[in-house]
């Protein structure tokens, strides 16, 4: 009997690509979702050649109205049972909030929060009916504190933290696990699209997408509540929880302002 599929959103680059590789290596058939179909097709060809797993590709902009329902309906129409859901798709925006284009901010909210929430509900219901499954929510180290100059983005990731922590309790007797990943700065296209520059003090914390994906997938199958890749990121998260909030925000804001000044 074939395993259930692993659905990975944002699978055309970065952490999403590497998580897809990790799951294919473990023999899971895949459902790859992203806006850039040509990249998905290239990844499908490479993974099928290397691992021989079945791979379905769905081109979908998850920031669009009704996108999560449309994706779910398309997967159901293909009769592809989903055993693993990886909500990886996300986008960031850096800069002074008052100067941001609100249409872009709204699309970020839709992608980072609305679609993630709806996909979790739709596929989570099916997993509960089947008595098991795994969900991985990709948040960010920015979830742990308000961060000036990525204020709205950090808030979306704080939402993912709070939502997933609460839902984990609701799912505890269902056989469905839910894990939150809190990556720090990672070598992906993310910062380029977000127009964000890395503060010099954070340079030593940077991990590769492959490193983060390996940590994430192992945590997923271990049914861990949460995982923070990298020692420095763990230390930062710890101090964010014990130091005065005003001090932490001041330090983060000062570093971000210096790094992203014109």
What digits encode the pLDDT tens for the residues 142-157? 999 888 999 999 999 9
pLDDT grade for 1, boundaries at 50, 70 and 90: very low
Q: Find the angle CA(189)-CA(190)-CA(193) to the nearest 5 degrees.
A: 85
Instruction: List the domain range (segments joined by +) for residue 225.
Output: 5-260
Return the bridge partners of 6, or none.
Answer: 30, 84
153 part of the active site: yes
What SS3 class is residue 241? helix
Pairing between β-strand 133-138 and β-strand 176-181 as defined by DSSP bridges: parallel
CATH of the domain at 213: 3.40.50.720
Domain count, the chain: 1
pLDDT at 216 over 60: yes
Annotated active-site residue in 5, 153, 159, 182 = 153
Q: Which of 43-57, 166-180, 225-239 has the lowest mean pLDDT?
A: 225-239
What sign for the dihedral angle of Cα 139, 141, 146, 150? negative
Report pLDDT for 225: 97
CA-to-CA separations, 231 to 69, 115, 186, in angstroms, rounded: 38, 31, 14
């Amino acid at each position: 009997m074939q395993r259930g599929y692993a659905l990975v959103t944002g699978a055309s680059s970065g952490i999403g690509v590497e998580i897809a590789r990790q799951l294919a290596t473990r023999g899971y058939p895949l459902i790859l979702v992203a806006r850039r179909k040509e990249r998905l097709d290239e990844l499908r060809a490479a993974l099928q050649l290397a691992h021989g797993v079945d791979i379905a590709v769905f081109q979908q902009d998850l920031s669009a109205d009704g996108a999560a329902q449309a994706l779910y309906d398309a997967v159901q129409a293909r009769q592809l049972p989903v055993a693993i859901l990886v909500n990886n798709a996300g986008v960031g925006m850096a800069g002074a909030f008052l100067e941001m284009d609100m249409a872009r901010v709204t699309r970020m909210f839709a992608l980072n929060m609305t679609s993630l929430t709806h996909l979790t509900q739709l596929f989570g219901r099916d997993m509960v009916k089947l008595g098991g499954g795994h969900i991985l929510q990709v948040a960010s180290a920015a979830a742990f504190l308000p961060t000036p100059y990525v204020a709205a983005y950090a808030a979306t990731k704080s939402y993912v933290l709070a939502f997933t922590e609460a839902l984990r309790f609701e799912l505890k007797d269902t056989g469905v696990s839910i894990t939150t990943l809190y990556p720090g700065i990672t070598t992906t296209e993310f910062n380029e699209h977000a127009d964000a520059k890395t503060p010099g003090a954070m340079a030593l914390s940077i991990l590769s997408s492959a490193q983060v994906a390996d940590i994430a997938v192992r945590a997923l199958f271990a049914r861990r509540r949460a995982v923070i890749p990298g020692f420095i990121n763990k230390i930062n998260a710890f101090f964010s929880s014990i130091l005065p909030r005003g001090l932490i925000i001041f330090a983060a804001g000062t570093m971000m302002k210096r790094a992203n000044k014109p």
